[in-house]
Amino acid sequence: GGTAMAAVRDVEIDPEGTFKYILVRLQRPGGEEQRDIVRGTKAAEFHNHIFEKVNPEMQKLGYECKCLGGGKIDHNSKDKKIRVFGLSTGYGKADHSVTVEILKKVYTDYEITWSDDKK
């Protein structure tokens, strides 16, 4: 049912700094139910490192994962600002506008912007 998918957090990103992120679509095999989540961390040297961590976690919960693209997130918790930019060489550019909408659900009091800038 909807509860397991609801238990998956919309956003898991580092609390501070600039790091790679990916936009991931979760889907129940054969089901209509789907949602997009944002994952990003400084620990990941490459975008696929993030996917390789998320994918098995989600498969355990019974979801198929598809990476919709990536980029970078600049998270300034002091000024409550998040900037989404850049792209993933391997996965292509995520739709940053979608990422921003997901981030806004969690970081409700932040100023969140995006651009297609590389830096």
Q: What is the pLDDT of residues 97-108, one digit of tens each?
A: 999 999 999 999
pLDDT of residue 32: 83
| The CATH number of the domain covering residues in 11-115 | 3.50.20.20
Higher pLDDT, 23 or 62: 23
- 1 has a pLDDT exceeding 70: no
Cα–Cα distance between 16 and 30 in angstroms, integer?
38
Cα–Cα distance between 52 and 69 in angstroms, integer?
14
- 27 has a pLDDT exceeding 80: yes
Q: Say how many Å lie between the first and final Cα of the chain, rounded.
A: 41
20 is in an annotated binding site: yes
33-91 pLDDT per residue, tens: 899 999 999 999 999 999 999 999 999 999 999 999 999 999 999 999 999 999 999 99
Of the pLDDT bands very low, low, confident and very high (cuts 50, 70, 90), residue 5 is low
Q: Whole-prediction pTM value?
A: 0.94
Q: What are the catalytic residues?
A: 47
**Which are the contacts of 67, defined by CB distance < 8 A and separation ≥ 6?**
22, 23, 24, 25, 47, 51, 91
pLDDT of residue 30: 87
